[in-house]
Amino acid sequence: MVSETDSEAACCFCGAHDAGLTFAGLRHPIKADHGPFDFYQCRNCGSGLTLAPPTRERLAALYGTFCDGLPDLQRTITADDPQNAIYSLCIRRLLRRADVAGLQIRSWIDVGAGGGELSRMIAEALPDARGLAIDLHARPATLANQKRIEWQCIDVNSERFAETVGETAQLVISTSVWEHVLRPNRFLHNLLRLLQPGGLLYLLSPDYGSLARRVLGKRWPYFTPGEHLNMPTAAGARECLTRQWQELHGAGTAPAIQCRALLLPYTLRYVFRRFGVNAVGRLLPPGLALPLPTGALESMLLAPGPAGC
C-alpha cells in the first residue's frame, strides 16, 4: 500500500525515491470504471507519476475500447478535423535537427503509431526511406495502401519489445506515447535499442512542469488519470534519456540531448469541440490552426556515430 504522503517507489524518470501525493482516488474521465488511481509528483525532477499504475491487463482492456489508440469521441473529432499541423511541425523539427547533424535518413520506426497519420506523413517527407510503424492494434485503414510502410502489431508495454521488432533505424520517433506506457524508463531503453549509431530519437509528450499544468491542475487537457500514467518534466526527460543511454552503452560515450517546451498548432475547431463547445467549433474551418501553450515537451537524442567516425 502506498502511503498517503510519500511513496518509496523510484521515479520512473530520474530514479529518485521521493514522491509526494497530489491527487487521490482519480478515475478515467470517460471510462469511470477504470480506477481509482493516486497521482504523485517526484520532488527531485518534478515529474508526475501514477503510483500504483494499472495492471498491463487493465490497460490493454482500456485500449481495447478505443479506435486506433484514441477514445471514440477524440477519434471522431480528429477524423473530421485531423491535427496534421502538429505532425507537420514535428517532422519539420526533426528533419531540421537531422540536417544540422548531417544525418541522411534512410530508415525510420514510428513507435506507438496509433491511426498511422504521422507514419504516412513521414513516408511522404522521406520517400526514399524504409519505414516501419508499430502499435498494439492491427494495421489502421490510414495505411491500407501505404506499401512502403511495414506494420508490426506489438505491445510497447512489453519489457523487451525491441527484440520483437528485430531491426534498427536511423530515426526512431514516438509522439504522444511516453505518457501512456507503464514503465517509461524501460520503454525508452527499448527505443534506444532500436536506434542506430549516429541516429536520432524524437519524442513528444506532455510536460508536467509546464505553466499550463501548474495553472490548470486537474483541468489540464493532458491530465487523464489511468491513461496518461507518467508525465516527465524537461529535467525528468533529460535524466531518463541520460540514465537509459548509460545503462545501454556505458558512460564512455555521450549523446546530444535536447528537452524543451513546444507550442503545438491545434486547430481552433478541434479545441472548441474538444471542450464541448460544438456549436462554435462547427462554424470554424477545419484547417485554421494556432500555436498554443498547451504544455507539450519535445525531447531529442542524437546518438554518437559509429566508432572511428
Task: Tell me the pLDDT tens digit for each residue of 40-76.
Answer: 999 999 999 999 999 999 988 888 887 766 665 565 6
User: To the nearest 10°, the Cα dihedral for 260, 223, 152, 117?
Assistant: -70
Q: Which fold has domain 6-302?
A: Rossmann fold (3.40.50)
Backbone angles phi, psi at 105, to 5 degrees: -80, 120
pLDDT, tens digit (0-9, with 9 covering 90-100), for 9-36: 899 999 999 999 999 999 998 888 999 9
Spell out, as residue ranges, where the chain has pLDDT lower than 50.
Answer: 1-5, 308-309
- Tell me if the pTM is above 0.75: yes
CA 146/CA 142 separation, integer angstroms: 8
Rounded to 5°, the CA angle 27-219-233 comes to 90
